A and B are shown apart, each in its own frame.
Chain A
């Protein structure tokens, strides 16, 4: 995957890797709950997307309830939305200490690993990424997000116990993704953008680093996604050693790119809800074109959505996203052609 990263950065054309799988359900007429509950259906949806859109890579579903559910947390499933964790599995220090680690494959994690394996084998023409939650965000789902955020200050020792256990499980889960045949993983750590850079170092990045160290190599890439991160979090995200960094629409992308080392691809960050789902073809095209223009000076920029594209996003809007990319690349190729003729 280091070669893929090099080719992305050195390419004269800009590429795009939007985080989308739910759109595969829309494309194939599948219910979200059905897609998330069955590995073959999920792989079918991802493959349909790969056939329909010229994305630089594919990804399995970003369902941030799977890992907490494996620990035993309650889940509310909805027909047309990603599931949500309900209640608090770890309400206090005693339950944190006694929290036992699930085995990889528990709950729906087995479905996601099988989906990753099938997707990797069915899509042969681009890298495929698995996806799992980050350690701090998982801790938030285990003890309650508000409590986790408060415990950053109020009860850091207890929080560390939970994050440590979350990390231990995620390392095993990430290794299983690697064995499934995918080319990498996207670690979704949205909650880490809600805390200060110093707390992000302490409660997220140092633990993400453990996962990265356990699985990343020349053939297996980790992309760290933090959809609430700002420019101030970039240093902490870089410290994880992840080969790629993915930013949400809260970030000022040119500002972020100025802080990301040029050898690390930085993905981002069209607003998935406000623009891609609720916008029009025209507004998606305009916003995408604007982002491409303002990031043109950064070869390591990869066009993407700011987070996973929600269910029900009009496919014509995703077409508009890629059309803006095509037009940008065509316009950039003109001067290059003229240069080569000279």
Chain B
């Protein structure tokens, strides 16, 4: 459908007002919200994600596209809930305790939302119990831990330990990422997935959830 294609293009271009108007117009015309979501909003975000991965666009383009996508998502969210449209899964995302950096974590959140996942963003400086309670409340099967500092990345191990102590070690998978984090570090602490960059985080989540 032409309007859905246009939503995707406007998301990609970061035109949030256009996205809002098109989404509202689609709803008025009776277009299924799952189509608005998947063929419009998610398709647009997915396209910008591919370009980001290929270094064709940079962080600002992703951020404004994400803002446009979220503007459209806010409009259809009540309908999605009412019609019980299933997401691909839920991911809890946060920057670990002691670390106040959020750009990488935010981009991962947007990429995941753009790929059709529900994201519970618990923000920065997050202690282990915040990750655990967010996972319990949302039913998330994946927790994403972000860190920019070598001194805070070690806290990721504490979160892993706390998850096991809370009895969630088997059902909740952990994905780690951030500038100082490596595959070797992820292996050392027993993380289930390592995302070297924001774009590949989506692939890691897909793999861990078996989508």
Q: Please give the residue numbers on chain A whose beta carbons come within 8 Å of chain B beta carbons, in ascending order.
A: 76, 78, 80-81, 84-86, 145-146, 149-150, 152-154, 194-196, 199, 230, 232, 273-274, 277-278, 310-312
Contacts and interface: CB of A to CB of B under 8 A. Distances in A.
B30 interface: no
Contacts of B102: 145-146
Give the secondary structure class of A's interface: mixed
B57 interface: yes
B182 A76 contact: no
B103 A310 contact: no
A84 B101 contact: yes
Given A194-B58, A274-B180, A312 B64 contact: no
Interface string B44-60: 00000000000101111
Contacts, number: 70
Contact of B60 (A76, A195, A273): A195
A149 B14 CA distance: 13
A195 B151 contact: no
B180 A278 contact: yes
B146 interface: no
Contacts of B103: 145-146, 149, 194
Contacts of A149: 59-60, 63, 103
A86 B98 CA distance: 12
A175 B100 CA distance: 31
B17 to A, nearest CB: 12
B106 interface: yes
Contacts of A310: 149-151, 180
B98 A278 contact: no
A153 B59 CA distance: 11
A195 B100 contact: no
Given A86-B100, A146-B63, 17 more contacts: A80-B151, A81-B98, A81-B152, A84-B100, A146-B102, A149-B60, A153-B63, A153-B64, A196-B58, A273-B150, A273-B180, A274-B182, A277-B150, A278-B184, A310-B149, A310-B150, A311-B151
A278 B186 CA distance: 12
A310 B98 CA distance: 16
Nearest to B180: A273
A150 B64 CA distance: 6
A311 B152 CA distance: 12
Interface string B185-201: 10000000000000000
B151 A81 contact: yes
Given A78-B98, A145-B103, A278-B185, A150 B150 contact: no
Nearest to B14: A153
